[in-house]
Structure 1
Amino acid sequence: MKKAGEVKAKNSFPTEIRVVAEELSVAVRQDHDASTVTFLSLSKSLLQILDKIGPTMAVLRQDVHKNIERLEKIYLLDPSLYSCVGEILKKEVDDGTARKRESCAKAVLWLTRSMNFSLALIKNIEKDSEWNLEQIVEESYKSTLKPWHGWISSAAYKVALKLLPEKEVFSSLLMSKGQNCNILKVDIQKFVSLLRPFIDEINAILRKLRLDRMKST
């Protein structure tokens, strides 16, 4: 006989985080070479999370979308040649184009940093704390994006920070009908444990090729 809590969890709709995680779980677990397809899928899932925060993340969302398009464009030119993120980066390093303004290396770098920010954000949401959403976003930003932002990007972030919704509002947007905060926390933990190893692998590739220190304006 099933417990009441188990029946409720089964009959309720999944959280937004769980939906994204389930869509990506098979690809990430089977991915041993940091494939471009998986990386693009993860990047697109990031847009879903940013959409939940609302128009305050419009600038970051626009950058993410632009970088996805740039990487997707080069991948579609030759899917077999550009099947792995590492191969794309290595080719641009060898060609001397990795540090150019419109390089795929920069697209991968900033997509990875944006995913680092998003993972930090939802991990901080999952923690039991007195912080409001502004404090959570600020802490996540400081540990991921801030070290690499110039004054223009930092100024845009400060404006966005003032327009954030309440923490409870954001959490409710990540949940579906019949959900509660405890279920959301469990889904976040699964989501982070699934994505973190893949993102760490991309971070390691960027460090190995010495592409991890580039800054924006």
Structure 2
Amino acid sequence: MKRSRDMEKRSEINSAIEELSLLAIVKPGGNHESAHIPTKPFLSLCYMVLQVLDKIGPTMAVLRQDVHQNIKRLEMMHELNPSMNSNLVEILKSEASKGNARKRFSCSKAFLWLTRSLDFSSALLRALEIDPKKNMEQIVQETYDATLSPWHGWISSAAFRVAIKLVPDTQTFMDLLKERDESCDTLKDQMQILVSLLVPFLEDVHCILKVYNLDRIKST
């Protein structure tokens, strides 16, 4: 409980950095099939993504809904059997062995799409960290094109094109991400730390997804 209250006092950026510190992927002998990704810290990190998406506004409504649904799917699986489902890689392995990994509402697909949402968030923060004065609409569009657009069907892509005009300006978004009385330079430093942790983590996750033939799945 204390940890939850402490997290509420910090920005999403600092909270995400803390969650990532608990998410080091263990790869015995470099074998991704034997890797370990703890479920609860991963889901906590995804909740941080939801809060960042909320700050972007209605533009991210469709993506936010998908993220929330996928989090709930993995949470439900974890609650049914906490000890068995504490490692996300074991869930992938189990569903793959039963031929269920690529089914519409599988936990494997939920994990895949949450990973892609983290890809989007990482690229967005990286772009802002590099050039915090760049037009926010352009940043969101370029980030979406690079991370999510290749996997989205026409319905999701069309919804995004309609909503892109509703993004806040860059300064407003940066102000929303900051802690109270935090400077822009401090925020940029925190964003750089988060991205530096996210990038290698996501690279390992994508290797794991590839092992289970999940990396090329597109939305219908």
Q: TM-score range by the shorter chain?
A: 0.7 to 0.9
Give the greater-gyration-radius structure (CA).
1
| Residue in structure 1 matched with residue 14 of structure 2 by the alignment | 18
State the partner residue of 2:5. Answer: none
Matched, 1:120 2:115: no
- Describe the SS at the equivalent of 2:52: helix
The answer for the alignment partner of 1:4 in structure 2 is none
- Within the alignment, does 1:53 sit opposite 2:62 as a pair? no
**Using CA pairs below 8 Å that are at least 6 residues apart, which structure has the higher relative contact order?**
1
1:147 and 2:150 matched = yes
Uncovered stretches (5+) of structure 2, i.e. residues with no partner: 1-8, 27-35
Aligned to 2:212: 209
Measure the CA separation in 2 of the matches of 1:93 and 1:15.
37
Cα shift at 1:41: 1.4
Structure 1 residue 138 displacement after superposition: 1.0
Deviation by residue 1:101-160 (Cα, 9 ceiling, x = unmatched): 111111001000001000100110111265301110111111110110110010011112
SS of 2:166's partner is: coil
Deviations 1:69-94 (A, max 9, x none): 00111111111211211110111111
More displaced 10-residue stretch of structure 1: 126-135 or 157-166: 126-135
Q: Distance between the aligned counterparts of 1:174 and 1:151, measured in 2?
A: 31
Residue 3 of structure 1 is matched in structure 2 by none
1:103 to 81, 106, 126: 106
Provide TM-score, normalisation by structure 2.
0.86
How far apart, CA to CA, are the structure 1 residues paired with 2:106 and 2:153?
19
User: Aligned to 1:195, which of 195, 198, 201?
Assistant: 198
Say whether residues 1:28 and 2:10 are aligned partners: no
CA–CA separation in structure 1 for the residues paired with 2:181 and 2:75: 37
Which 5+ residue runs of structure 1 have no aligned equivalent? 1-12
How many residues are aligned here? 203
Instruction: Give TM-score scaled by structure 1 length.
Output: 0.87
Deviates more, 1:86-95 or 1:190-199: 190-199
**Residues 47-86 of structure 1: CA distance to partner in whole angstroms, max 9, x if unpaired?**
1111111222111111100000001111111112112111
Between the aligned partners of 1:175 and 1:83, the Cα distance in structure 2 is: 32
Alignment match, 2:70: 67
Instruction: Tell me which amino acid in the other structure corresponds to 1:17.
Output: I
